[in-house]
Amino acid sequence: DFSTLYLRKLATEFADDLDKVREAPDFKASSVPMLIHALKQGETLFSGEEKRKVVGAAAK
């Protein structure tokens, strides 16, 4: 689904930045859900049609 593809792409593109966040002294296991929630907020920028195109292209 789009959400999975979107999060995978973000994790790939921002791998170095995410590593820095995870290495921060105040980052805890309980921070992970909040980080995922924050990253998923970007999904709202895409229309339903754009999401369908992305999922369709990934299926090919």
For residue range 15-58, list pLDDT tens digits in order.
Answer: 999 999 999 999 999 999 999 999 999 999 999 999 999 999 99
Q: Which two tokens stand for residue 52?
A: 């369908």
- Identify the band that residue 60 occupies on the pLDDT scale cut at 50, 70 and 90: confident
Domain count, the chain: 1
Q: Structural domain of residue 10, as residue ranges?
A: 2-59
Q: Give the list of residues 6+ apart from residue 27 with CB closer than 8 angstroms, or none.
A: 21
